[in-house]
Amino acid sequence: MILKLKNFHVDIKRTHGEKVIAYISYWLLHRKPIQIIDNSVSEENEELVILNEKFVLQYIVDFLSKRIQREHVLLREEKGLQNFSKLLLYYLVHRLYNAQSLEMMIIAFFAGQIYENIEKDISEELCYYS
């Protein structure tokens, strides 16, 4: 899909990481490549039903952590970040989404980081989206 977009818009030289993560995440959520063959549902394997969503959550959070170049987002003892992770998992499991909405969520996370006390100001990187 990203290659189609780049071919259509000839002047695009590189793809933003946010877009790549969003489209890969959408593909993983749509295709659900991680599957459990065991049909028995019990309390032990109830979490396996949302295994693809949990994997995508970790994939996105890992990307967010690498971009802000600090410790892993979920290792920080901040209630807001933990709530963000829970809300994102809920969104991936129970809400309708597409690649564009996932991309916007990632961009919005970084926009919120501009107003935090971080070592690296990423506001210049967000200018591409204006």
Residue spans per domain, the chain: 2-34+50-129
Residue 1, CB-side half-sphere exposure with 13 Å CA sphere = 12
Q: What are the tokens at 56?
A: 């995508």
pLDDT for the residue numbered 111:
74
pLDDT in tens, 56-113: 999 998 888 776 666 666 666 667 777 888 889 999 999 999 999 999 998 888 777 6
pTM reported for the whole predicted model = 0.74
pLDDT for the residue numbered 118:
57
- Which residue, 49, 76, 48, is CA-closest to 61? 76
Mean pLDDT of 42-48: 72
| Pairwise CA distance, residues 130 & 107, whole Å | 12
pLDDT for the residue numbered 115:
61
